[in-house]
Amino acid sequence: MNAYPAIKIEQYDEINAKPVLKWAGGKGMLLPQIREHLPNKLKFGAVKRYIEPFVGGGAVFFDLIKNYTFEDAYLFDVNPELIVLYNVIKNDVEDLIKELSAISEGYFRIDPSERDAFYYAYRDLYNENSKNIDANQYSRDYIARAAFTIFLNRTCFNGLYRVNSKGFFNVPVGKYKNPRILDEDNLREVSKALQCATIIQTDFSKVLDFVNDDTFVYYDPPYRPINETSFKSYAVGDFDDNEQKRLKDIFAKADSCGALQMLSNSDPTNYNPEDMFFDDLYGNYNIHRIWAKRMINSDPNGRNGVRELLITNY
Ligand SMILES: C[S@@+](CC[C@H](N)C(=O)[O-])C[C@H]1O[C@@H](n2cnc3c(N)ncnc32)[C@H](O)[C@@H]1O
């Protein structure tokens, strides 16, 4: 049990947002353990800035913003489609709802036997237009693209995001009878949640431009694969052990700026008790082992839990 009771900071306007996208490695199922390990300074409302450099589906940000207020937040990801989508939701949510509603109506109006072709037609259009994206240069032209991103995510196989070597989205259609393509209420809540956030397509090292001693940073990088088949490809380029080491260097630098930090990763000792990769790398910090269920490429014989790491510098 924590030494101090958690204090819930009341929002001026209550926010009840949840992730818009299904996202590989999404932290929805780990929220109870993450909440348990949050720093007391955050629970007392004394953290002013939140940074999440691998935001993905944003499960942790949306959960925190329900309970705590920040003066500002910085959300990063290298995936340009996520950044385009979140900035559209932040700036133009009502127009996005109109676009998505038109796609959703079109999808449900046609015969179910034609819906796979509908999906592939949208996927082709999405890829044809992918060249002209500069995710950090906001444009209202991105509203339609953001609607496509949600539509494809809600109807593709397992909500995966995967691109080929040319950067084209290549996930096949999923098998859904009645996919929830449009959730208007949630999009409006997400828009409220994002008002305090600056959302940038960038590498995680950008954290160092913004950390100070009133900051809490949560890192959820692509996990180090614990076996050969682990899912790991979010974009062109791999997140290998050198990337994990580069991330640790950023963690150490942000630590010396006084930021409170939490980092998730896989636990190699699940399969090889002698693999001390993270125990060695983060030897100066606190390493908590928690239980998690994995949804993507998890144990096919019943999806049993595996241990994961939550590393904190407090
Ligand atoms: C495990 S996912 C994050 C999942 C997220 N916590 C959620 O709940 O949905 C990892 C994310 O890191 C992003 N990423 C990969 N390499 C990156 C880098 N060098 N800098 C920033 N983001 C990166 C991927 O695009 C992916 O969205």
CATH number at residue 248: 3.40.50.150
Q: Is 21 inside a domain boundary? A: no
Which ligand 1 atom is at minimum distance from the Cα of 21? 9
Confidence at residue 168, expressed as pLDDT on a 0 to 100 scale:
94
- For 213, the domain range is 28-78+204-312
Q: Evaluate if residue 237 carries a pLDDT over 80.
A: no
Residues 208 and 244 in one domain: yes
Q: Which pLDDT tens digit goes with each residue over 188-221?
A: 999 999 999 999 999 999 999 999 999 999 999 9
What's the CATH code of the domain at 129? 1.10.1020.10
Residues 61 and 90 in one domain: no
Confirm or reject: Cβ of 235 under 6 Å from ligand 1. Answer: yes
Distance 201 CA to ligand 1 centre (A): 11
Residues 143 and 227 in one domain: no
One-character DSSP codes across 154-204: HHBGGG---B-TTS-B-PPB---SS-----HHHHHHHHHHHTTEEEEE--G
Choose the final residue of a domain: 186, 218, 246.
186
Choose the final residue of a domain: 159, 186, 213.
186
Confirm or reject: Cβ of 23 under 6 Å from ligand 1. Answer: yes
Q: Which pLDDT tens digit goes with each residue over 288-304?
A: 999 887 554 545 544 56
Confidence at residue 234, expressed as pLDDT on a 0 to 100 scale:
47
Choose the final residue of a domain: 186, 221, 237.
186
- Region 25-39: what's the mean pLDDT? 95
Distance 55 CA to ligand 1 centre (A): 6
Neighbour order of strands in the sheet with 305-312: 197-201, 72-77, 49-52, 215-219, 260-266, 305-312, 286-293
Which pTM value belongs to this model? Answer: 0.91
Q: Evaluate if residue 261 carries a pLDDT over 80.
A: yes
How sure is the predictor about 238, in pLDDT bands with cuts at 50, 70 and 90?
A: confident
